[in-house]
Amino acid sequence: MYRFALKVYGCQMNVYDGDKIRSALVARGWREASEDEADVVVLNGCSIRDKAEQKVWSDLGRYGERWAREGKPSVAVTGCVAQNVGRRMAARFPWVRFVSGPRHIGVVPEGLERLMEGEREKFFHLDDDPRAFLDLPGATVERVNRWKAFITIAHGCDNFCSYCIVPYVRGRFVSRPPEEILAEMRVLVMDGVQEITLLGQNVDSYGQDLPTAYSFSDLLRAGVDTGVRRLRFVTSHPKDFTPDVVEAMAERDDVLCPSVNLPIQSGSDGMLKRMNRRYTVEDFRRIVSLLRSRLPDLGLTTDLIVGHPGETEEDFQDSLAVLREFRFDLVHSAAYSPRQGTAAALWADQVPRDVSMARLNEVNELQKEIATEINRALVGRTVVVLLDDVAPRGAGMLQGRTPSDKVVLVEAGEELLGRFVSVEITRGESWCLTGRIVAPAE
């Protein structure tokens, strides 16, 4: 029996791909082990930012000593990082013996077995066809969490935002057939999953490439009928977001959670144009206003980049202004980092790193204030929470999420995991709420 260790970096998409790799290997008789015992270490890595990529490089360096001593572990690099720099990693480290991009995870289990059976060649699965996709089954995955699951509804992205490497490493936008997604959802529901999150780089484009007319809101409506208790999705794109999605959410707010991640990226129309985002702040404002008028308990989060090439102090002030205006519940903020191969990496007007970092700090400070105010205002309210994990904060605490996707900590025993409870909020901090259970919600 071969032993593997799996390390995952990056977004939910990578976590889900990691779960699929784990399941496929376990189903073929492999055993999960620690890195020190493993025959193969699978590094499913991210390449969106330089920092994420550096984590994988630094992991790789650590296996040299055991490799010299025992000829183990062989390392498989998968995910976006493999597509982007996997060949360089394999050239530098002899223990990197398998490289496969995110569109080829279907080849991982068999490829690793061939490696274990003595194949001497290094494996590279980095097909250049951006529409090719070799997947692994999703519904049977060994999930880290029993109550929550993710389903990829579409692969890749066609948008080519100036700063983003996703279309290059994950390929073109390809929607999965709805019947396949819905069948997977039904299996998960039968397996006890209470909450499903539909994943895509741009969920609002879902269906545009299907042979028959089928939209994202059609998928949401059909998803509700699978019997799942809670249904979410991530990530939306302001240029493709349509009112019928809001209508679907409002119609079935008992299942479709009122939470949306709508990345604004910048508060300056000039920057949005350079970023190739294809919407204006005014377009964004219209969507937020529609969402908030139809979904009063909406949790609204966003992504924001500071220090994109050409960002002036005035552009940056516009970004601070939109944070004050829209008062997001959470902001995924990042300082721009150039990714080789993208348009913005070639532009001459790069913003110095110290300026970007100072701007990032300012964004984080402002957002902390806003989130604290929003969360403190929730004290005294009662919300329904799905308790889905043990809290990292210590014994006797569980954590869960509100429909609006806020983290709530409560004192509770593990027998309540996977249950819905009504919680009165007693404390609000910038990143989470604390509460006490007042009643079971079932």
* CB closer to ligand SF4 out of 113 and 158: 158
CB 403 within 8 A of CB 259: yes
13: left (phi over 0), alpha (psi -120 to 50) or beta: alpha
Cβ neighbour number for residue 296 with a 10 Å cutoff? 10
Distance CA 383, CA 415 (A): 20
Q: At closest approach, how far in Å is the CB of 124 from ligand SF4?
A: 24
CB of 170 to ligand SF4, least distance (A): 8
Coil vs helix vs strand at 197: strand
Query: Smallest gap, in angstroms, from Cβ of residue 168 to ligand SF4?
Result: 9
Closest distance of CB 50 from ligand SF4, Å: 16
Decide if residue 237 touches ligand SF4 (CB under 6 A): yes
**Least distance from C-beta 166 to ligand SF4, angstroms?**
4
Distance CA 206, CA 219 (A): 9
Hey, which residues between 153 and 212 contact ligand SF4 (CB under 6 A)?
157, 159-161, 164, 166-167, 201-202
Identity of the residue, 109 or 156, whose beta carbon is nearer to ligand SF4 in the bound complex = 156
What stretches of 138-226 adopt beta strand conformation (E)?
Answer: 148-152, 154-155, 174-175, 195-199
Q: Give just the sign of the alpha carbon dihedral 26, 30, 34, 35.
A: negative
For the CB of residue 418, give the shortest distance to ligand SF4 in the complex, in Å: 32
Q: Which is nearer to ligand SF4, 202 or 215 (CB)?
A: 202
Nearer to ligand SF4, 111 or 167 (CB): 167
Q: Does 44 bind ligand SF4 (CB under 6 A)?
A: no
Buried b (16+ CB within 10 A) or exposed e, 315-326: bbebbbebbeeb
Residue 305 makes contact with ligand SF4 by CB under 6 A: no
The length of the chain in residues reads 442
374 binding ligand SF4? (CB under 6 A): no
Q: Name which of 59 and 158 has its Cβ closer to ligand SF4.
A: 158
Considering the complex, what minimum distance in angstroms separates the CB of residue 282 from ligand SF4? Answer: 20
Q: Write the Ramachandran bin of 278: left for phi over 0, alpha for psi from -120 to 50, otherwise beta.
A: left
CB of 38 to ligand SF4, least distance (A): 32
Q: What is the 3-state secondary structure (H, E, C) of 106-140?
A: HHHHHHHHHHHCCCCCCEEECCCCCCCCCCCCCCC
Quick one: 30 or 233, whose CB is closer to ligand SF4? 233
Extract the runs of DSSP E, i.e. beta strands, from 10-73.
31-32, 40-45
Residue 233 near residue 220 (C-beta atoms within 8 A): yes
Comparison of 6 and 166: residue with beta carbon closer to ligand SF4: 166
Nearer to ligand SF4 by C-beta: 293 or 340? 340
Interface residues with ligand SF4 (CB under 6 A)? 157, 159-161, 164, 166-167, 201-202, 237
